Amino acid sequence: MQLLTGAGAFTPPSDGELNDFTQHLVVVDLSVGTYSIPALGIDDQTPHTEDEIYLVTRGRARLVTPDDDVAVGPGDVVYVPAGEEHRFADVTDDLALVVVFAPAYRVS
């Protein structure tokens, strides 16, 4: 067992960065991290080769894909399949999301 301390806590981006991604766990079949986007921030992510589950722990935004647009807030859980374009927009409050990738996402 491993307690993932700090997972889901908002982390302001470093100077010059648009957002923050902190990895908490990486094993062969999955990884867990926290993705933080400040209020009025820009989500600059590109599609991933891994399936993703987002758990919103703080803030509000819209998750936009080519086929859908949904408002998200604390407690919401969203699945995004591998390869699907997606972006958080209209971030009205500092947004923090626990992100589970399967298989594991490798930060380059």
Amino acid at 12: P
What is the CATH code of the structural domain delimited by 20-102?
Answer: 2.60.120.10
Kindly report whether the global pTM for this prediction surpasses the value 0.85: yes
Which pLDDT score, from 0 to 100, does residue 108 have? 63
Mean pLDDT, all residues of the chain? 96
Cα separation, 72 vs 51, in Å, equals 19
- pLDDT bin (cut points 50, 70, 90) of residue 106 is confident
Map tokens 């509000």 to a residue: 60
Give 66-81 pLDDT, tens digit per residue. 999 999 999 999 999 9
Domain boundaries, the chain: 20-102
User: Under 8 Å CB-to-CB from 34, ≥6 apart: which residues?
Assistant: 6, 7, 8, 9, 10, 11, 20, 21, 22, 24, 96, 97, 98, 99
